[in-house]
Every structure is written in structure tokens, then in C-alpha cells.
Amino acid sequence: MGEKSRRETWDAIEWKHFGQCVWQQRLPDGKGLLEGRLHKATGRIFVVEKFYEHKLPRPHTSKPWPELETVNVYAPVDADGVTWDTLDVALAQFGEKKAA
């Protein structure tokens, strides 16, 4: 069996960690989406930004969607004990892992 596509990998992550999409907006260039998704573990709404290789098909058409290129997830910094200080520590640890 071959390697999973980015879409399949993201879909698995999304189903595991996120629930309902409470709002969605296409980006002006048509190649991306912004979504407000319910984070299952915290009950908070996270912003999920998805970028695709090509413009997305119009709603209610049967055209296939292009391949997913990147996903960015934005979490509230001040929610449930998460602070700017813990964000600073997490970013430093992320940098250390990338450098290793």
C-alpha cells in the first residue's frame, strides 16, 4: 500500500481531534478555506486554514477537489491555562526539535 496523501493524513488528524465545523469561508483567491472547528479535548473553537493546489470547485458541483497543500491550526492562547509564557516555551521546544 502506498503512502497516504496529505488529504488522507489531515482527514485522520481532523477526525481524531476536531468535531463540528461551526463556520467556513473561502479565501479570496479560491485556493483555500478558513474554518472554525470545535476542538474535542477543550471544547474551544480553533481556526483551521487549508490551502489547496488549485482553485476549489464551486459549491454543489461534482468536480473533485484539488490536493491539499498545507494546513495551519490556530488555537486560542489564553484559553484554559494556556498563556503567552507557555506559548513561548512551546515555540522554543519546537525550534529545538526542528534543529535536532
DSSP string, 72-95: EEE--TTSTT--HHHHHHHHHHHH
54: confidence class by pLDDT, cuts 50, 70, 90: very high
- Kindly state the average pLDDT of the residues 34-46: 91
pLDDT > 80? residue 81 = no
Q: Is 50 in contact with 71 (CB distance < 8 Å)?
A: yes
Q: Where are the domains of the chain?
A: 6-99
What was the pLDDT predicted at 98?
58
Grouping H, G, I as helix, E, B as strand and the rest as coil, residue 67 is coil
* Cβ neighbours for 17, distance < 8 A, ≥ 6 positions apart: 39, 40, 41
- Kindly state the average pLDDT of the residues 18-35: 95
Provide the whole-model pTM.
Answer: 0.74
pLDDT > 80? residue 91 = no
pLDDT > 60? residue 9 = yes
